Amino acid sequence: MAEQEGVIRFEIRRVPPRTLPADILRTLDEARTHLGGFGWVGQDPDRYHGLGFGNLSLRLPEGFAITGSQTGHLPHLTARDVAVVERIDLVWGVVTCWAGTAPPSSESMTHAAIYGALAGVRAVWHVHAPGLWRAPLDCEETAADIPYGTRAMAEALAACASRIGPRGGLVRMAGHEDGMLAFGPTPGDATRILLEALAAIEEN
């Protein structure tokens, strides 16, 4: 639900930081700017009680880099605004991470579920797109009674991703207002999937 947006539902354990690759930061920032132009990532006083929304991640050789919790208001990302998740224990709800000062996104477990289900996926974009969420799109969907950021949501998304396959696709998070998740083998693929969905509903 909207009033729960941005609530972290896991324990964070930090390990000594290393240097975030510049190309990873640049790719996340460029994609975030692009998607923000559609109102899919960012912060708006008239939406979700003014809390930030949307988060992006990229696979790394070990783990994945993900935009930090409540960084939607920032015009651009710095290394302080990105966390690198090395391990996730879904049973105990523990996320081990390093990098910036911002905690990893509240959706970190769901991003991890996609990467765990499909080795060929490199990018996962979680956006808040009211038009897409309400449209009769032909896409996978999680059950409406599964809250975001939980083990149950992670397991549901892993199942959705496995059915979609490594070429990527789109999932509607029915229990997470306006929440859509796109993933693919490249950042460009994840963005393309969202734009193709948008084009499909604008044609109808």
Domain 2-203, second-level architecture: 3-Layer(aba) Sandwich (3.40)
Distance CA 144, CA 10 (A): 21
What tens digit of pLDDT does each residue of 102-150 get? 777 778 889 999 999 999 999 999 999 999 999 999 999 999 999 887 8
Distance CA 137, CA 139 (A): 6
What H or E segment, with its residue span, contains residue 193? helix 187-203
> What is the separation, in whole angstroms, between the first and last Cα of the chain?
28
User: What is the DSSP secondary structure assignment for residue 146, as one 8-state letter?
Assistant: -
Phi, psi of 117 (to 5 degrees): -80, -30
DSSP helix/strand/coil, 127: strand
Show me where the domains of the chain are located: 2-203
Residues 6 or more apart whose CB falls under 8 angstroms from that of 59 comprise: 115, 121, 122, 123
Phi, psi of 91 (to 5 degrees): -65, -45
Q: What is the pTM of this model?
A: 0.90
Of the candidates 191, 173, 193, the residue with the CA atom closest to the CA atom of residue 133? 173
What tens digit of pLDDT does each residue of 67-115 get? 988 888 889 999 999 988 887 776 657 777 777 777 777 788 899 999 9
